[in-house]
């Protein structure tokens, strides 16, 4: 049953661009991008239980690395890979520096890094264009073809992320990370090298996001520091994961889909208050649905109805 559903979803996603208009395709591309962000955050936040707010750093870093390499003549696909690698290397270094912090201290340190990076990008005008942002070379392709090209590229990345997530989830690494989440000292005692495990999770949470950032830069053709280092980029994946279910593979994807759906509804109806409505969503989520949608036993409702 579950396999059948997954297969149907996969086929649906594959044939969607054949009939969808450009609005639908753009929206679903965004949805897949969100899924990549939430799946990535899930490595460090869901499996390991570290409240990371570093997603915006990785995204922005990847976006700028990709954009700058493209402006220096690197082909687009290669530039995306560079974006992912730069983010991964940065995450490894940052992880070694701040992963020994716990709780709030880790959260703040990861949060502040994005601000510092944004300031650096803002001031380093020669390389990054500063606050003016960067314009990327425009693809000489038909608009419809472009939309589908980006859709399938993003979809490929999402599949890679899902494979990585289920691989980690079922193997030694995922087991070790769950141990760390429950009790780090005990995990250390039973022989898990917590530093290596945590850093691996942090790098995993960065590499796909960096790639997605570089992809985003090519997709929208223009980036500026305030856009790609936006703090909301760190918060949204957390909300998506909590909406789905933390520490699972399907949860973040479900969360991302629902989140985008809500966002699209909200964005349209509350032009000046959309951030406020997002806040309201977060508050309700934490208070009434703390373990996510997947943890809700829907059969209970059906059963209740039947018995009455």
Partner 1 sequence: MLILQILVNGLVLGGLYACIAAGFSLVWGVLNIINILYGSFIIIGSYVAYFTYNYLGIHPFLSVTIAAVVLFVFGYLIQAGIINRVVAAPVLTTLTLTFGLELLLNNSLLVAFTADYRKVILENPLGILDMGGIIVPLDKLATMALALLLTGLLYWVLNASRIGRGIVAVRMDREAAALMGVKVKQIYAITFGLGAVMAGVAGSVMSVIFPISPLNNIVFLSKAFVICVLGGLGSVTGAMVGGLTLGVIESFGGLIFGPEHAMTLSFILLILLLIFRPTGIMGKKGYE
Query: Minimum distance from CB of 273 to partner 1 (Å)?
Result: 6
Asked if residue 268 binds partner 1 (CB under 8 A), the reply is no
- Does 222 help bind partner 1 (rule: CB under 8 A)? no
Identified binder of partner 1 from the candidate list 16, 101, 262, 293, rule CB under 8 A: 101
Residues between 119 and 138 that touch partner 1 (CB under 8 A)? 119-120, 123
Q: Does 54 bind partner 1 (CB under 8 A)?
A: no
| Cα-trace Rg, the chain | 20
Q: Does 267 bind partner 1 (CB under 8 A)?
A: no
Tokens of 11: 């086929």
Piece of the chain touching partner 1 by CB under 8 A; list 62-70, 73-81, 233-241, 296-304: 233-241
Q: In the complex with partner 1, which residue's Cβ is closer, 243 or 249? A: 243
Which one among 283, 295, 296, 302 touches partner 1, defined by CB under 8 A?
283
Q: Contact at 8 Å (CB) between 164 and 34? A: no
Size of the chain, expressed as the number of residues it contains: 308
- Short-list 206, 203, 242, CA closest to 55: 206
Contacts of 31 (CB under 8 A, 6+ apart): 256, 257, 260
For partner 1, how many residues bind (rule: CB under 8 A)?
Answer: 37
Residue 231: strand pairing partners:
none
**Residue with Cβ nearer partner 1 (103 or 156):** 103
Q: State yes or no: residue 282 binds partner 1 (CB under 8 A).
A: yes
Structural tokens at position 138: 């425009």
Cα distance between residue 246 and residue 297, in whole Å: 16
Which of 22, 132, 290, 296 touches partner 1 by CB under 8 A? 290
Q: Which of 113, 158, 177, 233 binds partner 1 (CB under 8 A)?
A: 113
Which among 10-18, 165-173, 284-292, 297-305 is the span making contact with partner 1, rule CB under 8 A?
284-292
3-state secondary structure of 134: strand
CA angle 88, 92, 94 (to 5 degrees): 110
Query: What is the distance between the alpha carbons of residues 265 and 255, in angstroms, rounded to a whole number?
Result: 15
Residues ≥6 apart with Cβ < 8 Å to 261: none
The contact mask relative to partner 1 for 79-98 (x = CB under 8 A, - = no) is ------------------xx
Q: How far is the CB of 32 from partner 1 (least distance, A)?
A: 24
Buried b (16+ CB within 10 A) or exposed e, 53-66: bbbbbbbbbbbbbb
Specify the residue, 14 or 186, whose C-beta has the smaller distance to partner 1.
186
201 near partner 1, judged by CB under 8 A: no
At which residue do the structure tokens 């703040």 appear? Answer: 108
For the purposes of burial, counting CB atoms within 10 Å of the CB of 17, is it exposed (0-12), middle (13-18) or buried (19 or more)? Answer: buried
How far is C-alpha 222 from the geometric centre of its chain's CA atoms? Answer: 20
Is residue 278 involved in binding partner 1 (CB under 8 A)?
yes
Residue 262 lies near partner 1 (rule: CB under 8 A): no
Binding site for partner 1 (CB under 8 A): 45, 49, 51, 97-98, 101, 103-105, 107-109, 112-113, 115-116, 119-120, 123, 235, 238-239, 242, 272-273, 275-276, 278-283, 285-287, 290
């Amino acid at each position: 049953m579950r396999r059948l559903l997954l297969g149907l979803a996969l086929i649906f996603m594959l044939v969607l661009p054949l009939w969808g208009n450009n609005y639908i395709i753009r929206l679903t591309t965004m949805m897949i991008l969100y899924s990549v962000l939430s799946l990535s955050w899930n490595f460090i936040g869901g499996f390991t239980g570290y409240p990371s707010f570093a997603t915006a750093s990785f995204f922005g870093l990847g976006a700028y690395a990709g954009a700058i390499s493209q402006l220096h003549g690197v082909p687009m696909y290669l530039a995306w890979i560079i974006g992912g690698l730069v983010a991964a290397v940065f995450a490894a270094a940052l992880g070694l520096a701040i992963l020994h912090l716990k709780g709030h201290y880790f959260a703040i340190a990861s949060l502040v890094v994005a601000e510092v990076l944004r300031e650096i990008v803002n001031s380093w005008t020669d390389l990054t264009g500063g606050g003016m942002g960067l314009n990327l070379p425009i693809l000489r392709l038909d608009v419809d073809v472009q939309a589908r090209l980006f859709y399938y590229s993003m979809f490929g990345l999402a599949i890679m992320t899902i494979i990585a997530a289920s691989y980690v989830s079922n193997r030694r690494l995922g087991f070790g990370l769950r141990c760390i989440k429950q009790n780090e000292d005990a995990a250390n005692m039973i022989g898990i090298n917590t530093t290596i495990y945590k850093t691996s999770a942090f790098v995993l949470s960065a590499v796909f996001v960096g790639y997605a950032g570089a992809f985003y830069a090519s997709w929208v053709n223009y980036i500026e520091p305030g856009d790609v280092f936006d703090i909301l980029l760190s918060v949204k994946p957390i909300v998506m994961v909590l909406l789905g279910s933390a520490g699972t593979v399907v949860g973040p994807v479900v969360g991302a889909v629902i989140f985008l759906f809500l966002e699209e509804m909200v964005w349209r109806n509350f032009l000046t208050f959309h951030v406020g409505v997002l806040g309201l969503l977060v508050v309700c989520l934490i208070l009434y649905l703390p373990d996510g949608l997947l943890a809700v036993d829907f059969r209970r409702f059906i059963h209740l109805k039947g018995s009455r």
